[in-house]
Chain A
């Protein structure tokens, strides 16, 4: 049973435009969310995170939005660059006394030059 879902396996965007990657979760106890970026033949690298006490966190071209009532978060990349082409994973962390992240299945972003 997938508690963190990324329903779009792939996304193509023109260079310079906005990329929006979506993530839905089912567990209302999740209180911290992260986005990881993964290039081929490399491990995922941390990109940006957001706590459930916020609804937005921004870092340069990357902004994460959290809608707790909808159990939905999104990653916006503006402007998109060819180097952003990668697989993006969202992850959720539950304060259950463990340090487990639950990852989604990933969205492959392709930025077209």
Chain B
């Protein structure tokens, strides 16, 4: 089975540009999560969706960040305008609530974002 697929794997862009990160969750998973990894804060949850609906976006750092999930197989995280402090690795994860409780989240391999 294909895992969570993220694109691009690497993104280098100049400050002020719009950045769009993409994620395809595991088929059949009804939860999708966006995380940011930094040295200081580890893995921070930015936002998560259930059945394509945003449930909790309290981790989104500011209005420059937005996320959408137009259908069950695709989500985007957009930063506009980007700033150097947004440089980090961004992970997407998905999970299922069917079956046993507390199903673990499955992560993609991340997008390494560098804002110059």
Question: B-contacting residues of A (Cβ < 8 Å)?
Answer: 2, 6, 32, 34, 36, 41-46, 49, 51, 89, 91, 93, 98-106
Determine chain B's interface SS by DSSP, over half rule: strand
Total interface residues on B, using CB and 8 Å? 26
- The reply on B34 being an interface residue by CB < 8 A is no
CB distance from B89 to the nearest CB of A (A): 9
Q: How many A-B residue pairs have CB under 8 A?
A: 56
> Could you list 15 further interchain pairs (A-B, Cβ under 8 angstroms) beyond the known A46-B105, A99-B48?
A41-B110, A43-B93, A44-B91, A44-B107, A46-B104, A99-B50, A99-B97, A101-B45, A103-B42, A103-B44, A103-B45, A105-B39, A105-B40, A105-B41, A106-B42
- Interface positions, chain B 21-73, Cβ under 8 Å from A, are 31, 35, 39-45, 48, 50, 55-56
Bound state CA distance, A102 and B95, in angstroms? 15
- Interface positions, chain B 8-26, Cβ under 8 Å from A, are none
